[in-house]
Amino acid sequence: MTAPGATTRPARSGAGPAPWRDDPYTRALRAGRGPLFLRRADGWLLPLEVERWLADADTADDSVLSRCRGAVLDIGCGPGRLVAALAGRGHRVLGVDVSPAAVTRTVRRGGTALCRSVFGPLPGEGRWTTVLLIDGNVGIGGDPHALLTRVAALLAPGGRLIAEAAPVEVDERCEVRLDDFRGTPGVPFPWARVGPDALGHHAATAGWTPTGTWSAAGRTFTELRR
């Protein structure tokens, strides 16, 4: 695993446009504010909480942080509020995100982060004690079953996953773009939205057992174990 406190520069890979890179998300992080949305082809919009992601961990986040044990992997860490908070609590913690701008923000906050996809090789595979999928990140890749199966390979025996479900009951896979209505929208990419019951269903089919569910500040979380 990467040593706590190490400064890790974003690794650039591939060429051409990609979601979360040099797009409305990057512009929002640089500006420090939204508006920012996920937009479906039919025009439906999901607001993204840029200001909350850039702020320090709040009370709902604290309910997650208090359940973290050992070495923590934050998948889709964004600008690093949870990584920084966990490091401040003495955890060995690594954030991974496909956005170079988000990784840079995390490092500036004193966290450790890599610019990687969760579906690519990651440090410490099979040795993480806690994995986080917060802020809708169970939707990464547009296939919750595939993501939950991948997370299982990252955790140590007896490890836990803490995932945040959508605040409404929904189970959908769709193609979306990032859009701030200030410039060119981002490129299309697959995404999923999963409510509490749907998360439980996908988790069960991937071999997970829920060990706790709770709500805080209008957000809903589930702790799962294999």
- The count of other CB atoms within 10 Å of the CB of residue 59 is 8
Domain span at 197? 58-175+191-225
Q: Residue 20: what pLDDT?
A: 85
Which residues have C-beta within 8 Å of that of residue 108, sequence separation ≥ 6? none
The candidate with the shortest Cα–Cα distance to 91, out of 121, 118, 71, 66, is 71
Please check whether residue 142 lies inside any domain of the structure. yes
Q: Residue 76: what pLDDT?
A: 98
pLDDT tens-digit readout, 116-149: 999 999 999 999 999 999 999 999 999 999 999 9
Please check whether residue 5 lies inside any domain of the structure. no
Mapping DSSP to helix (H, G, I), strand (E, B) and coil, where does residue 129 land? strand
Please check whether residue 15 lies inside any domain of the structure. no
Please check whether residue 129 lies inside any domain of the structure. yes
Q: Residue 174: what pLDDT?
A: 97
Please check whether residue 124 lies inside any domain of the structure. yes
Please check whether residue 117 lies inside any domain of the structure. yes
Q: Residue 14: what pLDDT?
A: 42
Please check whether residue 116 lies inside any domain of the structure. yes
Q: Which residues of the chain have pLDDT under 70?
A: 1-17
The candidate with the shortest Cα–Cα distance to 132, out of 163, 165, 173, 167, is 163
Q: Residue 21: what pLDDT?
A: 82
Number of domains present in the structure of the chain: 1
CA distance 126 to 77: 19
Predicted TM-score (pTM) above 0.95: no
Q: Where residue 134 sits, what CATH number does that domain have?
A: 3.40.50.150
Pairing of strands 113-115, 219-225: unpaired
Q: Residue 8: what pLDDT?
A: 39
Please check whether residue 146 lies inside any domain of the structure. yes
pLDDT tens-digit readout, 72-90: 999 999 999 999 999 999 9
